[in-house]
């Protein structure tokens, strides 16, 4: 029971889990090996990019005799997928591809992903599994505010809600006032969106005179961008919900590669019957479980577009399963190796600043990081809104504290610019936190 008297959603009963969530580690690994061998062979035989790359390092599908043999295979990068634009990575005839998605990519060509009918069914099943782990049950109303379109969030979660047998409201992102109205009128228990957009929706509720804690919502299944446990606490307190982390990426499938369980909320469990994870160091060597590095994923069941050792750029580590003891978890991802800021030699992740901002109640969780180079030296400015109802003088004192805490915690000097509530542009999907205004 929560402080407003809402009941909490419960953990999934054991007998409602998929057989793969319950099987022993040995059984799981033998399925993984069989699927890996099949995937590697198909990639080699059907996708010229893979054949060339395998031949270059002298590895053949017959060399995959154990799960560890995956380490013999070359990595795949976003650049490889771009080079094969648009359909060069498909392993099945184009006419058998029933859906296409693409990741936006800020510059240049997008990366295209294709799905067979079977791929879509597996994806929907994994999203259903993820939602069930989040406490969602058949019959519940689920408000889906992830963007529909080429982005995998909207349609990916949509299909999973239907596969679970819950009721999906396909709202998509944007039109915040309408989101607030439909949440008020339809009374969903579940909301699906990015964590940053949920903050925008919560502000929209307040603007409409609705206490964000008073709505029917009980659970948010949030992802598609890095967010910290501190932001989780904020969201949970502000909306009186459980906030769960859903992970995924379009190149490998879309949302639902892993998901947190409501009973543990300790980082997404990876659905290892469909994805083989590895963690690598900067020099590309494979690290043991527990060590931090870049997540690399190999798909085990994708037909239309198998992906071998895809370098996700996401930084995390592999941890033992808890609520699902047979599969490993990833530690909550708080950054990508390509969004690390190097400020005069100091490495900073935007989420490290997020944690410090959120610890100051005088400041709102709405901020951006601006990088400039006024006098040939890089400068970092945090533009942050003062909390509604906090006066400027009080917020300015909090800003001084922010500068000091960043210096102590991260070892660098930043500037802080306190702006009025509502001054930072809101996003309806993935939030663009860092604005790099330096001339390169
Ligand atoms: O963001 C898929 C998705 C949709 C996941 C909805 C969850 C919910 P892409 O647009 O290809 O796909 O972006 C993938 O987003 O490599 C991470 O850097 C980041 N990301 C996704 N989920 C999380 C998360 C979708 N839970 C990229 N935590 C990934 C942190 C995340 N980062």
316 and 195 assigned to the same domain: yes
* pLDDT for 110: 87
* Most informative mutation of 157, 249, 329 for ligand 1 (most atoms within 8 A of CB): 249
What residue numbers bound the domain in which 207 lies?
Answer: 1-336
pLDDT in tens, 359-406: 999 999 999 999 999 988 999 999 999 999 999 999 999 999 999 999
Helices (H), 187-260: 195-207, 229-239
265 and 368 assigned to the same domain: no
Q: How far is the CA of 77 from the centre of ligand 1 (A)?
A: 16
326 and 406 assigned to the same domain: no
| Phi-psi map region of 235: left, alpha, beta (phi>0 left; psi -120 to 50 alpha) | alpha
Which ligand 1 atom is nearest residue 430's CA? 1
295 and 381 assigned to the same domain: no
Is this model's pTM higher than 0.85 or not?
Answer: yes
Question: Residue 219: which H helix or E strand, with range?
Answer: strand 219-223
Which ligand 1 atom is nearest residue 313's CA? 16
CATH for 242: 3.40.50.12780
325 and 424 assigned to the same domain: no
Smallest CA-to-CA distance from 380 within 349, 420, 334, 338 is with 349
Report how many domains make up the chain: 2
403 and 327 assigned to the same domain: no
Is the dihedral angle over the CA atoms 345, 350, 351, 353 positive or is it negative?
A: positive
Phi, psi dihedrals of residue 270, rounded to the nearest 5°: -90, 135
Round the average pLDDT of the chain to a whole number and report it. Answer: 96
Domain boundary pick from 271, 303, 336 = 336
242 and 357 assigned to the same domain: no
Q: How far is the CA of 179 from the centre of ligand 1 (A)?
A: 22
Contact status, residue 169 vs residue 182, Cβ threshold 8 Å? yes
Is pLDDT at 1 greater than 60 in this prediction? no
Beta strand ranges found along 250-397 (DSSP E): 254-259, 269-270, 275-280, 293-299, 310-316, 318-319, 329-330, 341-343, 346-348, 363-372, 379-386
317 and 175 assigned to the same domain: yes
Question: Residue 133: which H helix or E strand, with range?
Answer: helix 117-133
The answer, yes or no, to whether any atom of ligand 1 lies below 6 A from the CB of 153, is yes
pLDDT in tens, 2-27: 667 789 999 999 999 999 999 999 99
Which ligand 1 atom is nearest residue 312's CA? 16
Q: How far apart are CA 79 and CA 263, in angstroms?
A: 39
95 and 219 assigned to the same domain: yes
Q: How far apart are CA 102 and CA 356, in angstroms?
A: 34
Which ligand 1 atom is nearest residue 146's CA? 6
323 and 349 assigned to the same domain: no
Domain boundary pick from 315, 336, 357 = 336
The answer, yes or no, to whether any atom of ligand 1 lies below 6 A from the CB of 255, is yes
Domain boundary pick from 336, 354, 376 = 336
The answer, yes or no, to whether any atom of ligand 1 lies below 6 A from the CB of 224, is yes
Which ligand 1 atom is nearest residue 248's CA? 5
118 and 245 assigned to the same domain: yes
Q: How far apart are CA 104 and CA 108, in angstroms?
A: 9
Q: Atom 12 in ligand 1: which residue has the minimum CA distance?
A: 249
11 and 119 assigned to the same domain: yes
pLDDT in tens, 287-335: 999 999 999 999 999 999 999 999 999 999 999 999 999 999 999 998 8
Q: Atom 4 in ligand 1: which residue has the minimum CA distance?
A: 153
CATH for 350: 3.30.300.30
Buried b / exposed e along 274-312 (16+ C-beta atoms within 10 A): bbbbbbbeeeeeeeeeeeebbbbbbbbbbbbbbbbbbbb
* Most informative mutation of 123, 247, 250, 337 for ligand 1 (most atoms within 8 A of CB): 247
The answer, yes or no, to whether any atom of ligand 1 lies below 6 A from the CB of 254, is yes
Burial environment of residue 342 by CB neighbours within 10 A (0 to 12, 13 to 18, 19 or more): exposed
């Amino acid at each position: 029971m929560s402080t407003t008297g809402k009941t909490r959603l419960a953990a999934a009963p054991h007998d409602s889990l998929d057989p793969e969530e319950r099987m022993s580690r040995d059984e799981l690994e033998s399925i993984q090996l069989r699927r890996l061998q099949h995937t590697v062979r198909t990639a080699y035989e059907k996708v010229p990019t893979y054949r060339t790359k395998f031949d270059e390092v002298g590895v053949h599908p017959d060399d995959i005799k154990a799960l560890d043999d995956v380490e013999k295979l070359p990595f795949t990068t976003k650049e490889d997928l771009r080079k094969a634009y648009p359909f060069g990575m498909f392993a099945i005839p184009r006419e058998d591809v029933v859906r296409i998605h693409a990741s936006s990519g800020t510059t240049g060509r997008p990366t295209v992903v294709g799905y067979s009918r079977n791929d879509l069914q597996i994806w929907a099943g994994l999203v259903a599994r993820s939602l069930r782990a989040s406490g969602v049950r058949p019959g519940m109303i689920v408000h889906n505010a992830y963007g529909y379109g080429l982005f995998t969030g909207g349609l990916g979660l949509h299909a999973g809600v239907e596969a679970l047998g819950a009721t999906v409201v396909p709202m998509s992102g944007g039109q915040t006032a309408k989101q607030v109205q439909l949440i008020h009128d339809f009374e969903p228990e579940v909301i699906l969106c990015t964590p940053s957009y949920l903050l925008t929706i919560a502000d929209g509720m307040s603007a409409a005179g609705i206490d964000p804690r008073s709505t029917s919502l009980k659970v948010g299944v949030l992802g598609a961008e890095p967010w910290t446990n501190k932001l989780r606490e904020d969201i949970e307190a502000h909306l009186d919900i459980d906030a769960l982390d859903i992970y995924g990426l379009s190149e490998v499938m879309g949302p639902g590669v892993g998901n947190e369980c409501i009973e543990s909320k300790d980082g997404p469990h990876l659905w290892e019957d469909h994805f083989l994870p590895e963690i690598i160091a900067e020099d590309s060597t494979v690290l043991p479980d527990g060590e931090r590095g870049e997540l690399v994923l190999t798909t085990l069941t994708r037909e239309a577009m198998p992906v071998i050792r895809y370098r996700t750029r996401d930084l995390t580590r592999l941890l033992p399963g808890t609520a699902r003891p047979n599969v490993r978890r990833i530690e909550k991802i708080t950054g990508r190796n390509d969004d690390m800021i190097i400020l005069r030699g100091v490495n900073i992740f935007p989420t490290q600043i997020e944690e410090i901002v959120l610890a100051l109640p005088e400041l709102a969780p709405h901020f951006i990081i601006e990088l400039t180079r006024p006098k040939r030296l890089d400068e970092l400015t945090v533009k942050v809104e003062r909390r509604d109802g906090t006066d400027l003088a009080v917020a300015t004192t909090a800003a001084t504290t922010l500068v000091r805490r960043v210096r102590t915690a991260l070892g660098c000097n930043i500037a802080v610019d306190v702006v009025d509530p509502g001054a930072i542009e809101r996003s309806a999907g993935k939030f663009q936190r860092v604005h790099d205004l330096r001339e390169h």
